[in-house]
Amino acid sequence: MRRLIVYTVLCCGFCTSQVQSQTNLDTTKWTAVDGGWIDEPNHDLICNLPGNVSVAGGILTLTAKSVPAGVSCRGGVDYGPVKHYFTGGTIYTSSFNFKYGTISARIKSAGNGVHSGLLWMMGSGCQNIMYKHSYWCNHTWPDPNNEIDIAEIKPASDSTLTMVSQNLFNPDGWQSEWGKTTNVQTNWHVYTLVWTPDSLKFQIDGVTTTTMTKGVPSHEMFPIISEEIENDAGGAPDPKTFPQTIKVDYVRVWDAKGKKIFDDEFGALKK
């Protein structure tokens, strides 16, 4: 019995050190947007900064802040700089992309005033030009670079924060549905997309809420997690409700054969 107890203590000590060992975003996997925002067509009011992205205790946190004095936001090659009065955090995979398979993430959302892109994907042709041009993806969106919103929170449409927007945008237009769940700001949820050549199945906590079979993308795409501030999506932001956070427990991707091809546990040892 004594030998078993010693082993357990050592194991727990090892687990604790693993959880605490990662204190920064893994830049071999992710890029944090530095001084950019979605200018057109979203008219985003936020300035995304790496300093608003943090990792601690096995959790990634993106923090949206009110800055009454404003900050000079750099912009891209053909937009900005401009003064913004809110800052936030947005990340996307630096080089990883995939075609067909399953992507899943456990996330807790920000609340009213913040348009939270909890988990979405863009065509890989946009990956190297993210946030660099005035018009999104330098006019390569939505053709050929389609968009899939696995879990998008739009408080302007649902102030109860219990509806999850699930969308596909391609040259044929928007396909938009809603998944119902419990409050996304106070509760953790697992958001999943099962992507095959024939369909997109959107799931919340293991339950399929939306299935799309038309215009299914057939090219590589990459994951994004974002904060935006737009009156028509997030609702008019009240500075008194900030700071607000998106918290991410993990992001995992499997290929079409079920092999795990991407995994970020943000420093924690998890099953």
Residue 263 has a pLDDT of 98
How distant, in Å, are the alpha carbons of 103, 131, 146, 229 from that of 39? 28, 9, 18, 11
State how beta strands 207-212 and 200-204 pair. antiparallel
Distance CA(37)–CA(83), nearest Å, equals 12
Sorted by where each starts, the structural domains of the chain and their CATH numbers stand as 23-264 (2.60.120.200)
Residue 67 has a pLDDT of 97
- Residue where the block lists tokens 């946030």: 131
> Could you write out the three-class secondary structure of 213-253?
CCCCCCCCEEEEEEEECCCCCCCCCCHHHCCEEEEEEEEEE
Residue 229 has a pLDDT of 93
Chunk the chain into consecutive blocks of 10 residues (it has 271) and report each block's average pLDDT, rounded to whole numbers: 34 39 85 96 95 97 97 96 97 97 98 95 97 96 97 95 97 96 98 98 98 97 96 88 97 98 89 55
Residue 235 has a pLDDT of 84
Length of the chain in terms of residues written: 271
Query: Cβ distance 49 to 87 under 8 Å?
Result: yes
Residue 48's closest CA among 71, 28, 68, 25? 71
In single-letter form, the type of residue at position 181 comes to: T
Beta strands in 156-217 (DSSP E): 163-170, 173-180, 189-195, 200-204, 207-212
Backbone angles phi, psi at 168, to 5 degrees: -130, 130
Residue 231 has a pLDDT of 83
Residue 268 has a pLDDT of 79
Backbone angles phi, psi at 5, to 5 degrees: -65, -45
Query: Cβ distance 193 to 102 under 8 Å?
Result: yes
